[in-house]
Amino acid sequence: MARLRAWGVDERRTAQAGLAFRVLALVVLAAGFLGLCSTLFPAPAGVPELVRDLRNGDVSVVQVTTADVGEVRVFWSTGFLGDHAFTYHDDISLPGAEAERFTAGAKGQLGEQADGVTFEEGDRFDALGFLDVLVPLMYWFVMPHFAWPVAVCCVVALVDMVVRQDLRTPSAGYWLLASVVFGFGFPAYLWSEPRPLWFRRIPTPGDKPGMTGLRVAGATACWAVVGAGVMVTMTLARR
């Protein structure tokens, strides 16, 4: 009896530790997703906002890209969820040096403060090439300071998917491709596997699995819709 009681205590502690990690991982992954959305869909701004942030010392790097003839795309960040961008229209008719002319004009407005600011030309995603479709790599590229917590949560979730013996789904393989390629599979897995974060009754050994293959596919689709909805909402809210 003592052995059974000790086993029950150990099992309860393990379950509590697993629950704590899942909640923490959901917070980390959600924050990382919001930060990624902020980078991919920056808030609209203008030259006055850029000059203000530069003079306040909130920005040290400004990315300038020639979007089209007579147009310059400007991006900068003041921190987490503080990404801004705007398109500057160059009125000079001679094409080919729009980014240089914008940089020179911005430095002229800053005066001596321009010495502490770096203006980088080129698209910040060019280095990724076709790999920019992989969301986990995007985390690492656009959020280097936040990438390690996200990576740890994702790795632990992947290992748990592979080695668990008591999954509530017929197979953990549903999440593997979605998690590795698209990223949204990690929050879906941590929310629904291997048991709900919130349940109102203690399951009995005779209960049937609550998560079937169809529900797994539905949960993945719902998370994809939620992710797309968040990105669209953030984009519309910043216009």
* pLDDT at 117 > cutoff 70: yes
Mean pLDDT of 122-147: 75
Kindly report which listed range (83-87, 97-101, 221-225) carries the lowest average pLDDT score. 221-225
**Predicted structure pTM score:** 0.72
**Does CATH place domain 43-128 in 2.40.110.10?**
no
What does the pLDDT look like over 25-78, one tens digit per residue? Answer: 888 888 888 888 888 888 999 888 988 988 888 888 888 888 777 788 899 989
Task: Report the mean per-residue pLDDT for the chain.
Answer: 76
HSE-up of residue 226 (Cα within 13 Å, Cβ side):
14
pLDDT category at 111 given cuts 50, 70, 90 is confident
**pLDDT for residue 22:** 86
Tokens of 204: 């009995």
Q: How many CB atoms lie within 10 A of CB 64?
A: 20
* pLDDT at 156 > cutoff 50: yes
**pLDDT for residue 41:** 87
- 138-151: b (≥16 Cβ within 10 Å) or e: bbebbbeebbebbe
* pLDDT at 79 > cutoff 50: yes
CA distances from 30 to 127, 149, 185 (A): 26, 12, 12
**pLDDT for residue 85:** 92
HSE-up of residue 235 (Cα within 13 Å, Cβ side):
10
- The residue ranges of every structural domain in the chain are 17-40+130-237, 43-128
**pLDDT for residue 209:** 56
More confidently predicted of 20 and 209: 20
* pLDDT at 202 > cutoff 60: no
